[in-house]
Amino acid sequence: MPHIYLKYLIYFLSGSILITAITLVAEKRSRKIAGILMCLPVITFLSLLFLGVSQGAEFASMAAVWNPIGAVADLVYMGLFAIGINLPEYIGKTNTLSDGTKRSIEILSGLLSGFAGYFLCIAVLSQLPITSGWVSLFALWVAAVVVLGDSFGYLWGGLFSSFPGTITPVLVLLHLKNGKSIISGVIKSSPIGLSATGLYSCMVWLLYPMYGIIAGTFASYLAVIGFLSVIFFRSWLK
């Protein structure tokens, strides 16, 4: 029982630190970097780690193969959030409102649109006819991520390990403080961070059963660091 409380304490502390850091990076440094950081596999890392500790490495490994579907849903969520915050203005019902009220309505519209798309995406993609082997989701997502069959029992743990628990407060805070203009710049680079999440999930699936939780987690994050290093190096060369 104590490890359950520890899990939520770590979620809260790491989430608070990450949200604050990303918000500051977006405002003071780079929207692109903030978008990447916002979608890094932090929640995924903690979720799969605690699944491994409580249920075993094999269970976490099988849950990890469903995680990329949750990441695809994250991308849908962000896109519809960006659309949703603009809907009140298109409808023309906010012209006479104060800035604070207008932004609150825009955020509510964005959240409703985003979460509707998120859960619909999960409902649709989780019903994909998966057979033993690989199913590529490359057409839906910039990363080449795969789903292994025969893992229906681990579906929900994997899907919701990518729940937008970090993404949502970052977008809300940025919109409240800076308005709509900053949101699109942050979201634009988020697929890179989601690609890292897909890579991390695939590495966990491969490495947890063979090397255990600690070594598998360490090696998986090394792969993510290597992937992001290549991305940033190529950006620097340009």
Residues 6+ apart with CB under 8 A from 80: 110, 113, 114, 116, 117, 118
Confidence check: pLDDT of 219 > 90: yes
- Residue 153's pLDDT band (boundaries 50, 70, 90)? very low
- Residue 237's pLDDT band (boundaries 50, 70, 90)? low
- Mean pLDDT of all residues in 143-148: 31
Confidence check: pLDDT of 117 > 90: no
Confidence check: pLDDT of 136 > 70: no
* 183 contacts 109 by C-beta, under 8 angstroms: no
Least confident of 9-13, 42-46, 211-215: 9-13
Alpha helices in 65-189 (DSSP H): 67-84, 87-91, 99-125, 155-159, 167-178, 181-188
- Mean pLDDT of all residues in 96-103: 76
- Mean pLDDT of all residues in 154-181: 67
Provide the percentage of residues in the chain whose pLDDT is more than 70.
70
- Residue 178's pLDDT band (boundaries 50, 70, 90)? confident
pTM of structure: 0.71
- Residue 222's pLDDT band (boundaries 50, 70, 90)? very high
- Residue 4's pLDDT band (boundaries 50, 70, 90)? low
Q: Cα dihedral angle (8, 12, 14, 15), rounded to 10 degrees?
A: 120
| Secondary structure, 3-state, 34-85 | HHHHHCCCHHHHHHHHHHHHHHCHHHHHHHHCCHHHHHHHHHHHHHHHHHHC
| Mean pLDDT over the full length of the chain | 72
Q: Where are the domains of the chain?
A: 2-237
The pLDDT value recorded for residue 100 is 75
Report pLDDT digits (tens) over 39-96: 777 777 777 787 787 778 888 888 787 777 778 888 888 889 988 888 888 877 666 6
